Chain A
Amino acid sequence: MLLIHCPYCAEDRPEVEFTYGGEAHIARPLDPSTLTDVEWEGYLYLRKNTRGDHAERWRHMHGCARYFNAVRNTVTDRIEVTYKAGEARPPEHVAGDAA
């Protein structure tokens, strides 16, 4: 079970308090009515599915209930860093994301 640091509660809490929210930093289309099928496919379905450092969303469901982001290595499952929603991925944790 993962031990996850919630950046809002500033606490390390067990994974069962959290739900997974998938890949992070996927921007919602600003003008959905103008999107092509190819763009919809990319937004809705295509994922990096990174083997390595992966930026992803978590929600502290049974705590503060807020979404935040984490960079986790998907080979070791080690969480490198967590940060608040809306913040950019920390530059020191960008390397290793090949996809």
Chain B
Amino acid sequence: MRYSALSLLRNALSGHRSWPVAWRDAAPKPRYDAVIIGGGGHGVGAAYYLAKKYGITNVAVIEKGWIGGGNAGRNTTIIRSNYLYDESAHLYDHAVKLWDGLSQELNYNVMYSKRGVLMLAHNVHDIQSFKRHIHANRLNGVDNEWLTADECKAYCPPLDIAPNARHPVLGGALQRRGGTARHDSVVWGYARGAVAMGVDIIQNCAVTGIRRGPDGAVLGVDTEKGFIGAKKIGVSAAGNTSVVMDMAGLRFPLESYPLQALVSEPVKPIFPCVVMSNTVHAYISQSDKGELVIGAGTDQYVSYSQRGAMHILEHTLAAICEIFPIFTRMRMLRSWAGVVDVTPDRSPILGKTPVPGLYINCGWGTGGFKATPGAADLLAYTIAHDAPNAINAPFTLDRFRTGRFIDEAAAAAVAH
């Protein structure tokens, strides 16, 4: 059914007892035209775009847990596209353009809120680096502007801009189109749209092997629910990408780290935007429920445990309390971690692999949520055409052999 004010009214009158399920769980068929491994926003979205844009509807999304239960449900929902290099600016801005209008396209409210992302400069290096970003962004048609410390304070009143602060605010870079979205809604909205077009979503079904024919091309996947044939397989498995690619005999330039986040008790609206302080690893916004959503930096070691160490949170909260003294007596409700797959140049890998019929979307590291619609769209394009399009063509796997990095790590000197 189509959601509308009328459907809301009708269901309100019947006590909200007759809403149909938004999407149905499926049992696997023996064969599909394409299989997506990984039911996060990127994977479910790719299935949606395969059906919507390319008419490939005989598609299965295979998820070892439940859809949206991995990094899609564990991030701090920050959306922005103010990356330094041309390739990155085009890639991330492709996603931001898709975020705009996604709720209307899906007929599902993903709650994309363009509340602005403000990146704080605490020292001279930050000022120089951010201004370079601003100029590069504007040349690429990506909005980004410099704010003085007073303008930062006006944009985000809880900020402490006292000159003797522990982390003095010397200014900031503001991307007004940046903001947040409701993470679960993105996955559920894509799932509802995909299933309506014939896509099967298969949950609680881990992939245990990738079968290849004598010519090396993929034949399908072995799963906990049996063999599923497919000539095309898209892998969108985030932190577990190395595990999945190992099944195809491929080694990847990835390491998986825990990335922690936490939320406070809910309070009335106080925080109007997203503030990032890359230098001290503190990322904060307020959800529509009223919780302060706070992100930390990664733990230092490879881990799949989906939990991290307390001293990382302590470091982040110390920075938050210094920058926003008004929050020193807030109580934190819960913390968790996602497992993020990090490449050596901190840019994603999105395209073909050496195995015919096997396509990869990985390496988004600490910043994959913002790219959800873009990565999904480009993975679908690459699978449908057996070739990347101009936006994701630079994000090859072989750039670690040729040296054609997209070195966003060196550009910003922090993890994103």
Contact = CB atoms under 8 A, between A and B. Distances in A.
A95 interface: no
Contact of A20 (B300, B311, B344): B300
B243 A51 contact: yes
Q: Which label, helix, strand, loop or mixed, suits the secondary structure of the B interface?
A: loop
A54 interface: yes
Contacts of A20: 300-301
Contacts of B256: 49, 51, 74
Interface stretch (A5-13, A25-33, A38-46, A82-90): A38-46
A66 interface: no
B401 A99 contact: no
A49 B242 contact: yes
B302 A56 contact: yes
Contacts of B309: 1-2, 15
A74 B305 contact: yes
Contacts of A47: 242, 251-255
B404 to A, nearest CB: 12
B400 interface: yes
A54 B344 CA distance: 19
B401 A54 contact: no
Interface residues of B, number: 24
B353 interface: no
Contacts of A45: 253, 344, 400
B305 A99 contact: no
Nearest to A41: B401
Interface in B279-311: 300-305, 307, 309-311
Nearest to A46: B251
B251 A51 contact: no
Contact of A46 (B253, B311, B402): B253
Interface in B235-257: 240, 242-243, 246, 251-256
Nearest to B342: A49
Given A37-B402, A38-B401, A41-B401, A48 B251 contact: yes
B246 to A, nearest CB: 5
A76 B305 contact: yes
A75 B255 contact: no
Contacts of A42: 251
B206 to A, nearest CB: 12
Given A49-B302, A51-B304, 6 more contacts: A15-B309, A15-B311, A22-B302, A40-B401, A42-B251, A44-B400
Interface of A: 1-2, 15-16, 19-20, 22-23, 37-38, 40-42, 44-51, 54, 56, 72, 74-77, 98-99
